[in-house]
Amino acid sequence: MTKPATAKFEEMVLEVEFDPVGAAGTFSSICGLIDVTINRTSNIDTSEVPGSCDDESLPLSIERQVRSQEVTASGTGVWARQSHQKMLAWWRTGATLNARLRNKNVEDNGEEDDIYEETGPAILANLNNGRTKGQKVSSEIEIQWDGVPATTLVPAA
């Protein structure tokens, strides 16, 4: 029996290029995030169509198709000083910055043409902080990509 290959915490990386889109820069992780969730959503349109043209008394049939797709990321963690000014500036300006999700496990061990990176312009939709006595200041974020991120594949060997 073969053991399944899995990814470690540090192998799924959410990063932001904290320079304006189109400017040369370096991607940096958002320091302090200890939980990150990536959501890939297909928005579906539903239509009721005749189930039979010969017998209109029969129930209608449901047909669906993808209207649009979106990718978002949410994260929670400790509000790290290293990211404080960058995140506040991103939210305050409403700027669109490049963000990427990298799967280092796939990048290093994937098969040819596996997707290991998704990159594209994104907006910081939510930036929340909280405090609890005796605890560190917490953070919650939500990033929304402007369109579906472009993918990078594992190159042929």
pLDDT of residue 13: 93
Question: Taken in order 112, 114, 117, 119, is the CA torsion positive or negative?
Answer: positive
CATH number of the 9-42+70-153 domain: 2.40.30
Q: What is the pLDDT along the chain (157 residues), one digit of tens a residue?
A: 888 878 889 889 999 998 755 566 689 999 999 999 999 999 999 999 998 899 999 999 999 999 999 999 999 999 998 898 999 999 999 999 999 999 887 777 777 788 889 999 999 999 999 999 999 999 999 999 999 999 998 887 6
Are the C-beta atoms of residues 137 and 157 closer than 8 Å to each other? no
CA atoms of 36 and 76, how far apart (whole Å) = 7
> For residue 10, what is the DSSP state?
G
User: Which alpha helices (DSSP H) does 51-117 contain, by range?
Assistant: 81-93, 104-109
pLDDT of residue 113: 83
> For residue 86, what is the DSSP state?
H
CA atoms of 82 and 157, how far apart (whole Å) = 38
Helices and strands (H and E) in the chain: how many: 2, 8
Q: Buried (b) or exposed (e) across 108-123, using 16+ Cβ within 10 A?
A: eebeeeeebbbbbbbb
CA dist list (Å): 90 to 20, 44, 153:
10, 31, 29
pLDDT of residue 70: 97
pLDDT of residue 22: 55
